[in-house]
A and B are shown apart, each in its own frame.
Chain A
Amino acid sequence: MDGLAAYVVRRLLFLPVTLLIVSFATFCITRWGPGDPISVYSGQYRDPEAFERVRHQYGLDRSIPEQYGIWLKDVVLHGDFGPSFRFRDRDIPEIIGPKIWVSFRLSIYAFFLTFLIGIPIGVIAAVKQGSWLDPFLISVFLFFQSVPALVTVPIMVLIFAAKLHWLPPGGFDGMFSTSMVIPTLALSLPGIAGIARLARATTLGTLGADFVRTARAKGIAEFDVITRHVVRNSVVPVMTTVVGLSLVGLIEGALFTETLLGINGIGRFAFESVNTRDYNVVLAIVLLGATAFVFANLLVDLALVVVDPRIRAGRPQ
Chain B
Amino acid sequence: MSSKLTIAAGAVAAGLIIVLAVVLILVVGGGGGGDKGSATGDTRTPTTSPADNGPAGSGELRLRGPDPLVLDPAVAQDADSATYIVEIFSGLVRLDRDLKVQPDLAASWDVSPDGKTYTFHLNPKATFHDGRPVTAEDIKYSFQRALAPETASVVAENFLGDIAGAKDVSRGRATEISGLKVIDDQTISLTLDQPKAYFLYKLTYPTAFVVDQRQIQANPKRWTQKPNGTGPFKLKEWRLGERIVLEAYNNNVLGAPKLQKITFELQGGSALVDYQDGNIDATGVGLDDLQRVQDPSDKLHAEYQQAPRMSIDYIGFNTTTKPFDDPKVRQAFAMAVDRQKIAEVVLQGAAPIANGILMPGVPGHTDDDKTLPYDPARAKQLLSESKYGSDIGQVTLALSGAGATAGPYDEALVQMWRDNLGVDVQIQQAESGTFFQDIDQGRYQMFHIGWIMDYPDPEDVLDVLFYSKSRQNSTRYTNPEIDAKLERARVEQDTEKRLTIYRDVEKQLLNDAAWIPMFFDTAHVLVKPYVKNFVVPPLVVERYRDVEVTR
Query: Is A41 an interface position by the 8 A CB rule?
Result: yes
Interface residue ranges of A52-87 to B (CB < 8 Å): 53-54, 56-58, 86-87
Which stretch in A9-17, A166-174, A232-240, A300-308 binds the other chain?
A166-174
Decide if A262 touches B267 in the complex (CB within 8 Å).
Answer: yes
Residues of B within 8 A of A53 (CB): 149, 152, 170-171
Complex alpha-carbon distance, A53 and B274, angstroms: 44
Contact A256 B14 (CB under 8 A): yes
Question: Chain B 57-84, CB within 8 Å of chain A: the 1/0 string?
Answer: 0000000000101111001011000000
Assuming the contacts A44-B451, A89-B224, A165-B277, asked whether A170 and B268 have C-beta atoms less than 8 A apart, the reply is yes
The interface of chain A, by Cβ under 8 A from chain B, is 34-36, 38-51, 53-54, 56-58, 86-91, 94-95, 98-99, 150, 157, 161-162, 165, 168-172, 255-256, 259-264, 269, 271, 275-277
Q: Per a CB cutoff under 8 Å, which of A43, A56, A171 touches B268?
A: A171
- Distance in angstroms from B209 CB to nearest chain A CB is 15
- Bound CA span A269–B154, Å: 24
Residues of A within 8 A of B4 (CB): 43-44
Give A56 to B75 CA distance when docked, in angstroms: 16
A46 touches B471 (CB 8 A): yes
Interface residues of B in 259-317 (CB under 8 A from A): 265-270, 273-274, 277
Known contacts A162-B270, A172-B267; is A43 also within 8 Å of B5 by CB?
A: yes
Cα–Cα distance between A277 and B433 once the two chains are bound (Å): 7
Alpha-carbon distance between A45 and B4 when the two chains are bound, in angstroms: 10
A-B contact pairs, 20 of them (CB 8 A): A34-B434, A43-B78, A44-B2, A44-B4, A44-B436, A44-B472, A45-B155, A47-B154, A50-B155, A50-B170, A57-B150, A89-B224, A157-B270, A157-B273, A168-B277, A169-B270, A170-B269, A171-B267, A262-B269, A264-B266
**Interface residue from A45, A56, A150 paired with B154 (Cβ < 8 Å):** A45
Give the distance to chain A from B206, nearest Cβ to Cβ, in Å.
Answer: 13
Q: Which of A34, A48, A262 has the most CB of B within 10 A?
A: A262
Find the B residue at minimum CB distance from A277: B433
Which B residue sits closest to A36, measured CB to CB? B437
Residues of B close to A165: CB separation below 8 A: 273, 277
B269 lies within 8 A of A260 (CB): yes
Q: What's the nearest-Cβ distance from chain A to residue B476, in Å?
A: 12
Complex Cα gap A275–B435 (Å): 11
Given the complex of chains A and B, what is the CA–CA distance between A88 and B451 in angstroms?
25
B75 neighbours in A (Cβ, 8 Å): 88
Residues of chain B touching chain A, judged by Cβ–Cβ distance below 8 Å, are 2-5, 12-14, 16, 67, 69-72, 75, 77-78, 149-150, 152-155, 157-158, 170-171, 221-222, 224-225, 239-242, 265-270, 273-274, 277, 431-434, 436-437, 439-440, 451-452, 471-472, 474
Are A89 and B152 neighbours in the complex by a CB distance under 8 Å? no
Quote the shortest CB–CB distance from B364 to chain A (angstroms): 20
- What's the minimum C-beta distance from A102 to chain B, rounded to whole angstroms? 8
Contact across chains for A40 and B225 when beta carbons are under 8 A apart: no
Decide: A88 and B72 in contact? CB cutoff 8 A: yes
Partner of B269, one of A36, A54, A169: A169
B268 pairs with A169, CB closer than 8 A = yes
A contact residues around B451 at 8 Å (CB): 44
Least CB distance, B436 to chain A, in whole angstroms: 6
Chain A residue nearest in CB terms to B78: A43
CA of A135 to CA of B265 in the docked complex: distance in angstroms? Answer: 46
Once the chains bind, are B437 and A44 in contact (CB under 8 Å)? no
**Min distance, Cβ B453 to any Cβ of chain A, angstroms:** 10
Known A-B contacts A39-B436, A40-B433, A53-B171; the reply to A264 vs B267 at CB < 8 A is: yes
Question: Across the interface, which residues of A come within 8 angstroms of B158, CB to CB?
Answer: 45, 47, 50
Q: Is the CB of B72 within 8 A of A89?
A: yes
Q: A39 vs B150: C-alpha distance in the bound complex, in angstroms?
A: 18
- Residues of B within 8 Å of A88, CB to CB, are 69-70, 72, 75, 152
- Give the contacting residue for B13; candidates A57, A86, A260, A264; CB below 8 A: A260
- Expressed in whole angstroms, the Cα–Cα distance for A258 and B13 within the complex equals 9
Contacting A47 at CB < 8 Å: which of B13, B14, B240, B471?
Answer: B471
Return the chain A residue nearest B223 by Cβ.
A89
* Min CB–CB distance B256 → chain A (angstroms): 28
**Closest residue of B by beta carbon distance from A43:** B3
- Distance from B283 Cβ to chain A, minimum over Cβ atoms (Å): 12
* Contact (Cβ within 8 A) B269 A46: no
From A47, A260, A264, contact of B472 by CB (8 A): A47
Bound complex: CA A89 to CA B155 (Å): 17
Minimum C-beta distance from A246 to chain B (A): 21
Q: In the bound complex, what is the Cα–Cα distance between A99 and B67 (angstroms)?
A: 13
Contacts A169-B273, A256-B14, A259-B14 given; does A49 touch B471 at CB 8 Å: yes
Kindly state the separation between the CA atoms of A34 and B436 in the bound complex, as whole angstroms: 11
Query: Does B269 contact A58, Cβ atoms closer than 8 Å?
Result: no
Query: A41-B78, A260-B269 provided; 18 other pairs, C-beta below 8 A?
Result: A35-B433, A42-B77, A42-B154, A42-B436, A43-B5, A43-B78, A53-B171, A54-B154, A88-B70, A89-B70, A91-B221, A162-B270, A169-B268, A170-B267, A259-B13, A264-B242, A275-B431, A276-B433
A34 touching B265, Cβ below 8 Å? no
A47-B154, A48-B471, A169-B273 known; A34+B433 contact, CB < 8 A? yes
Say whether B171 contacts A44, CB under 8 Å.
no
Contact B432 A275 (CB under 8 A): yes
**Smallest Cβ-Cβ distance to B3: which chain A residue:** A43
- Return chain A residues, CB-CB under 8 Å to B266: 264
Q: In the docked arrangement, what's the CA distance between A92 and B373, Å?
A: 53
A43 to chain B, nearest CB (A): 2
Chain B residues, CB < 8 A from A263: 267
B contact residues around A91 at 8 Å (CB): 221
Q: What is the CB-to-nearest-CB distance from A173 to chain B, in angstroms, rounded to a whole number?
A: 9
Q: In the complex the two chains form, what is the Cα distance from A51 to B153 in whole Å?
A: 9
* A55 CB, min distance to chain B CBs, angstroms: 9
Query: Are A161 and B270 neighbours in the complex by a CB distance under 8 Å?
Result: yes
- Tell whether, in the assembled complex, residue B157 and residue A47 are in contact, meaning their CB atoms are under 8 Å apart: yes
Q: Which chain B residue has the least Cβ–Cβ distance from A35?
A: B433
Tell me if A261 and B157 are in contact (CB < 8 A).
Answer: no
**Given A42-B77, A43-B78, A170 and B240 contact (CB-CB distance below 8 Å):** no
**Identity of the chain A residue whose Cβ is nearest the Cβ of B277 in the assembled complex:** A165
A41→B69 CA distance, assembly (Å): 10
Q: Which residues of A contact B72 (CB under 8 A)?
A: 88-89
Contact A43 B77 (CB under 8 A): yes
Please determine whether A271 and B268 come into contact, CB atoms closer than 8 angstroms. no
Q: Is the beta-carbon distance between B433 and A261 smaller than 8 angstroms?
A: no
In the bound complex, do residue A94 and residue B268 qualify as a contact, i.e. CB atoms below 8 Å apart?
no
Output the least CB separation between B497 and chain A (Å).
29
Q: Which residues of B contact A275 (CB under 8 A)?
A: 431-433
User: Which chain A positions have C-beta within 8 A of B71?
Assistant: 89
Instruction: Answer whether A170 and B12 are a contact pair too, CB < 8 Å, given A42-B3, A43-B436, A87-B70.
Output: no
| A36-B269 Cα distance, complex, nearest whole Å | 31
Q: Which residues of A contact B268 (CB under 8 A)?
A: 168-171, 262
Distance between Cα atoms of A91 and B225 in the complex (Å): 12
**In the complex, what residues of A have CB within 8 A of residue B474's CB?**
46
